[in-house]
Amino acid sequence: MKITFIGLGIMGSRMAANLLKNGVDVTVYNRSKEPVNILLEKGAKTAATANEAAKNADIVFSMLSTPEVVDYVFLSEDGVLSAMKKNAIWVDCSTVNPSFSIKSKEAADNFGIRFIDAPVAGTKPQAEHAQLAFFIGAEKSLLEEVEPYLNFMGAKVINIGEAGKGASFKMLVNIMLAQSMIIFSEAVLLGEKMGISKEFLLSVIPNLVVAAPFTKFKADMVREDNYEVQFPLEWMHKDLHLAAVTAYEMNQPLYLANVAKELFAEANKNGMGRLDFAAIHRYLEKK
């Protein structure tokens, strides 16, 4: 099969590289050329435009930053959907709100394109080492056509249900991730104020049963005050905003996640957007 990968940021560039490692025929497209050039050296092909890259593809993967970008690249009048061949498959790995994912499927249907929403769990290390988890919204028979390629990029494929359900589940994961990081940070900062050593707190708290397991990986960032980006704080703020939009659409209160959203908004406003989302600790520490 001919595969196209559109969107080569922190995650997409590494996902595409893992396809290439497994001998897949991959054409890549990205607005900035640096990640394209790196993948060309690994055997990828490229094209001058996203539409050109996608026109002969059997499967098009996208990993883009926001629903607005996906909308512009794929759903606009002359977007990628208009260039794809009939019955090709569009797999959107971007983190978007469920209602947007459903909109994407409807647009794909109108062009005779089959659609899968497939957001991922994991950050830069998991993308690099093909350890991502894919949350799938698609019928089983469609997933079976794409799953071999997902397995080149990840360690787990979980089919949640019809289109939109992958995006729905990813939203739940991310609101828990954001709030858990804040809870961890507040506990450590209070512990320090009570005279417990920071090193003790960072070594012991992540191993307690009440702690989110991922805090083990973030404790070193806090310890060293080095928040080299794995999952940008600005995108966590975006994901919390999408959760708030979805909660409004569902008429479902979202008390604590909205508090988290405002904290991440303030951290983003204070210049931390391009740091890892664990930098919320630095923001709370200085607040």
| Active-site annotation holds for 124 | no
pTM: 0.95
Give tens-digit pLDDT for 173-218. 999 999 999 999 999 999 999 999 999 999 999 999 999 999 999 9
Where are the alpha helices (H) located in the chain, listed in sequence order? 10-21, 34-40, 50-54, 67-70, 80-83, 98-110, 124-128, 140-153, 165-193, 198-204, 215-224, 233-250, 255-267, 280-286
Question: Domain 168-286 belongs to what architecture?
Answer: Orthogonal Bundle (1.10)
Q: Supply the pLDDT for residue 222.
A: 98
Q: Supply the pLDDT for residue 263.
A: 98
What sign does the dihedral 7-226-239-213 (CA atoms) show?
positive
**What percent of the chain lies above the pLDDT cut of 90?**
100
Which of these is catalytic: 55, 170, 218, 261? 170
Q: Supply the pLDDT for residue 186.
A: 98
Q: What is the rounded distance in angstroms from the CA atom of residue 172 to the CA atom of residue 30?
A: 29
Q: How do the domains of the chain map onto residue ranges?
A: 2-161, 168-286
CATH topology of domain 2-161: Rossmann fold (3.40.50)
Partner residues linked to 121 by β-bridges: 133
Give tens-digit pLDDT for 144-182. 999 999 999 999 999 999 999 999 999 999 999 999 999
pLDDT band at residue 63 under the 50/70/90 scheme: very high
